[in-house]
Structure 1
Amino acid sequence: MNEKDNSINASYYHIVNPLTNTIVGAEVTHSFSTNVNTITVGTQHALDPLTTIKAQMNHAGKANVLIQHKWHSKSLFTISGEVDTKSIDKSPKVGLALALKP
């Protein structure tokens, strides 16, 4: 069965401050095959016109953070991280990405 046919989700977001692009949101997903609900809450905020920070956490204790900087036209530099707060024996994940567009 296709993943899209196997689950249903609902989401909501609210613009807190349009000047700083501060947004909060939440998503609830239900999987029919496993009968599991996933709840995720997140936020984003523009530190300056070129730098955005995003964070989210789900009900299982996984936290994600992303910092993205636009340094040339459409080119982006991104640093991201993920940690499982309920499993401190697992190492956190860190990622770097560079997207270059002419």
Structure 2
Amino acid sequence: MDDLDKFFSKTKNEKGDSANASYYHIVNPSTNIAVVGAEMTHSFFTNVNTITVGTQHALDPLTTIKVRANNAGKASALIQHEWRPKSLFTISGEMDTKSIDKSPKVGLALALKP
């Protein structure tokens, strides 16, 4: 994205059953220390709105933490480290805060680029 510190977009998916609107704001553009974002999705088929709020924080130039939560009770987080140029190691987790009896999901990912 250019030097803009704010981004707003709205989209409609190919099937036409939902519409999205999102907002993106970099709190400190010189260091990309914190990013705050929000998204609203409306499903025409079920007439349900979902609002998601998230943030991103760069621990250092190679390590990033991302957290998001929505009004349906889903919360997720990840930590991502770039250990080689364009090669990423990611640990992520997600849980449904409204269904404590369901076990949380945990994932590991390794993306390698030559």
The aligned counterpart of 2:17 is 6
Q: For 1:13 and 1:80, how far apart are their aligned partners in 2?
A: 22
Aligned length: 101
Higher relative contact order (CA 8 A, sep 6+): 1
The runs of 5 or more residues in structure 1 that have no matched partner are none
The aligned counterpart of 2:49 is 37
Name the amino acid aligned to 1:24.
V
Runs of 4+ aligned residues of structure 1 deviating over 6 Å after TM superposition are none
The runs of 5 or more residues in structure 2 that have no matched partner are 1-12
Residue deviations 1:6-40 (CA, integer Å, cap 9, x gap): 10111111111121431101000000000000000
Q: For 1:99 and 1:9, how far apart are their aligned partners in 2?
A: 28
Does structure 2 conserve the Cα–Cα contact (< 8 Å) formed by 1:77 and 1:97? yes
The aligned counterpart of 2:26 is 15
Scaled by the length of structure 1, the TM-score of the pair is 0.94
Name the amino acid aligned to 2:64.
T
Scaled by the length of structure 2, the TM-score of the pair is 0.84
Q: Is 1:84 matched up with 2:86? A: no
Q: CA RMSD in A?
A: 1.3
